[in-house]
Every structure is written in C-alpha cells, then in structure tokens.
A and B are shown apart, each in its own frame.
Chain A
Amino acid sequence: MKPPRFAYHAPRTLPELLETFNETADEAVVLAGGQSLLPMLNLRLAAPSHVIDLGRVPGLDSIASTNGSVEVGAMVTHYRMETDAVVAASVPLARRAAGYVGYRAIRNRGTVGGSVAHADPAAEWPIVLLALDGEVGLASVRGWRSIAAEDFFESVYTTAKRPDEIVTSLRLSTRCAHRWGFSEFQRRTGDFATVAVAVACAVEAGEICEARVAIAGVADRPMRCREAEAVLVGGSATAAADAAEAASDSVDPISDIHGSSAFRKRLVHAETLRAVRQAFSANEAGARDG
C-alpha cells in the first residue's frame, strides 16, 4: 500500500497553480489536505501522473463573513470549521457538521474544498452546502466562476467542475441559518456517514418561510428532499414526523455492506426526524444564538 510514482508540483501562487494544472490537467490530481487522496494513492485506486499540492499556495485558507454569506477558502480544514468563531456565529450548522468528519487527525489536515471536490456521496460538506444554499467557487486559467451546489454534484466522485478547474472557495448563505439541524448515523465515532441529514430553515415573523433538507448516503450524490422541505415550510414542531416520513418515502437508496436500501430508508427517517427536531428545539442548539 504505497503510492504509485508521480511528478509533484508545489506552486507558490494561484496563477502558477492554475497554469500548472492547465498544462497537466488530464493526468493531474490536486492534493489539498490529502485525507481522501492519500488513501486512494496508497490503495492504488488512483494513479495520477502529476500531483499538484495546494499546500503552498497562499490565500486559500481564509474565512470571511460578508453580507448574507460566509466565504470559506478551499484549504480551510475541518478542524478550523469546528473551532472558528465566524463559522460558529454565522453558520453554526457547518460547525456542527465539521465535528462529524473523521477523527481529529483527519480534521486537522482534511479540507472543505478537498471534500467538496472529491464529492463522496456520504460526505458531510456537500449536504451542508446544499442546505445552506451554497456555491462552489472554481478557478482556471480561463477565469473564475461559481456554481450553485445543486448543480455541482453530479454523481459519485463526479462534479460539474471542468478538468482544468480547481475548487478555490465555498460560499455558504446565512439566509437559512436561523434554524438548523444536523444528524448523522455513524456506526462508530469518525466513520463515514451511512446516512446524514442537514436541515436549514429561514424564519420570517416566527414562521418558517424557507426550508432546505439535504441527505447524504442514499444516492450517487448528495440530494435535497423537496417533499420534506414542503412539509416544513409554515410547519410547526409536529412537522418533524411528517417531514421524516416524507424524506423516507422520497428516497430510493443504494445497498451496500453498511446497509440495505430498506435499512437506509429507515435511517433517513430517523436522522431527518432528529435533524428537524434539533431545528425546532432551541435547547438542542438548533436555533442560532440571538
């Protein structure tokens, strides 16, 4: 379990990075925190000719709160998301989700950008992005663009990112950060989610005016569950059971050794119920402070 041979590049500036990637893109992978890439290299599930390390490129690790959103650099680690004051104040759902990613040593090195680019359908960040109406910022030698999270994730490990593009940032909207919940079924602490559910709601005049429910672990990509969202808009605390039922009914999950399709439907029910209850319960940290 040793990595195959590759050429290593450690660009020192963003333009240099984009140039290098442009030249090698078809045969290159980007090394961010490496917590997904290194296992794949060690298991020889990936054999790139070039590895381009983002670790020396400045400016990719900032967290900034702007009007109505939080912008997170691609190289921000899971652990920083767990501990950052801006994240805690503006998008506490993201802080909660960060704590579910792997173990401390993984969270110290793994990055949000790496996770999103990797697009594992059981990962936490993609559903946080969906729940918080997020966008993914992409850069290439051709310029910069951003894609709504809903259009970004296409399939297992597959995104709308073009081959020469690099994920440089995430934007999380605070519009739906008023009431939130995050619940995940892990077999053991730190395991990948079998199923995870993120719920985020916008509140106006004490009423839920917008609800977003995103589910990991049930399809080839993270998915929103509009049936559950419809139940929540204008709904009260009793809506949790209905939303859970709607969510469970709406999914047609995959089966694997961690759970059959039928089992995953049960988990969707359970975790949606819990996430929505969190969102409705001030005591369970589901409501944003203030």
Chain B
Amino acid sequence: MAEISLTVNGERTAAQVDPRTLLSDFLRDGLNLTGTHVGCEHGYCGACTVLVDGASARSCLMLAIQADARSVETVESLSVNGAGLHPIQQAFKDCHGLQCGFCTPGLLMSVVELAATNPDCGRDEIREHLSGNVCRCTGYHHIVDAVERALNGVPGRADDS
C-alpha cells in the first residue's frame, strides 16, 4: 500500500492505495464518486473519462497512484445537488442528449475540455472530437445538438413545451 495525496473536485484527499488500483476504482470505491462509470477498462468507450490537471483522461487507464499530487475532476464537480445544472449539463437536458445516462458523465467531462480548448467547433468537428466517447442509446444526433448549444449558445431543439 502507498499513501497518495491529491485534489479531487477541489478537495484535498489523502488515501492509502494498492499501487495496482485503477483511478476509476479508487474514485468509485475509495471515494464513493460513482458518477464515473466503467464501461470497458481498455480505453475505448470513454465512460470513465475524468479530467486530470484539466486534461481529459481515461480513469481506467491510469493508476490511482499516478494521480498523486494531481488534481482530478469528475462529473460530480460540475454541479451540486440542489443547485442548478452546469450549462453543459443543462444543454444535454434541453436537447435530450442522454438516454440511459451511463456514458453521460464521461461525455460531459470530454465536453468540458472541448469547451475550454476548441470552443469554435461546428457539428462535424464536434463529432470528430468526441468520437472517443461511445454512446449506444442516442445515435449521437441529440448529443451533437447539446454540445453545439453548450459551445455556441445555438437556440432551437430545446424543450418547446
């Protein structure tokens, strides 16, 4: 076991970990941050995507011990229960950008990064940039709507009830 100390969602955290513990398992089982989902454990599906020092990372392809002295952000960092949704979350809700919700947390974290580094994407570029996050429910169309809306404030396709 080894001692690690890191910042998770803005809070300093120290823990004892087995060096082989995956970051995804540490977040879920060690910190009870179960919003990070595990879909493949070989880096393809993107469900476990988190931000490490602001850059997206597959938490299944990282050891928890590699996150020592780093800052990790998970979906739980985006908004707190009882308060409003993060604008990206709100766009996903408005555009029906999720169905079963399993891929959603990882996708949201990828969109947070995209918004920070490539905010001027069109629909095709959004599709290229987010091709590492697999969704099996939505057929992606509504996700692209949501991301476009989040990035550009594009109106339309929202709830018209």
Q: Is A154 an interface residue (CB 8 A)?
A: no
Cross-chain contact B110 with A53 (CB below 8 angstroms): no
B144 to chain A, nearest CB (A): 14
Q: A39-B61, A103-B131, A104-B129 known; A2 and B19 CB under 8 Å?
A: no
Q: Is A5 an interface residue (CB 8 A)?
A: yes
Of the candidate stretches A105-113, A261-269, A280-288, the one touching chain B is A105-113
* Main SS class of interface, B: mixed
Cross-chain contact A42 with B57 (CB below 8 angstroms): no
Bound form: Cα–Cα A39–B42 in Å: 5
Q: Is A188 an interface residue (CB 8 A)?
A: yes
Select which of B43, B66, B68, B113 is within 8 A of A106 by beta carbon: B43
Bound form: Cα–Cα A242–B113 in Å: 44
Q: Is A235 an interface residue (CB 8 A)?
A: no
The 8 A CB mask of B33-66 against A (1 = contact, 0 = none) is: 0000000011100100100100111101111011
Cross-chain contact A105 with B49 (CB below 8 angstroms): yes
* B contact residues around A8 at 8 Å (CB): 2, 19-20, 63, 65
Cross-chain contact A34 with B128 (CB below 8 angstroms): no
Cross-chain contact B110 with A38 (CB below 8 angstroms): no
Bound form: Cα–Cα A183–B129 in Å: 19
Per the 8 Å Cβ criterion, residues 29-64 of A in contact with B are 31, 34-35, 38-39, 41-43, 51, 53, 55
* A contact residues around B128 at 8 Å (CB): 189
* A contact residues around B18 at 8 Å (CB): 5
Selected A-B contacts with CB under 8 Å, 28 pairs: A1-B41, A2-B20, A2-B41, A3-B20, A3-B22, A4-B20, A6-B19, A7-B19, A8-B19, A34-B61, A38-B61, A38-B63, A39-B41, A42-B22, A42-B42, A43-B42, A51-B19, A79-B55, A102-B43, A103-B46, A104-B113, A104-B129, A105-B56, A105-B58, A106-B58, A108-B55, A109-B62, A190-B132
Residues of A within 8 A of B (CB): 1-8, 10, 31, 34-35, 38-39, 41-43, 51, 53, 55, 79, 102-106, 108-109, 188-190
Residues of B within 8 A of A (CB): 2, 18-20, 22, 25, 41-43, 46, 49, 52, 55-58, 60-63, 65-66, 68, 110, 113-114, 128-129, 131-133
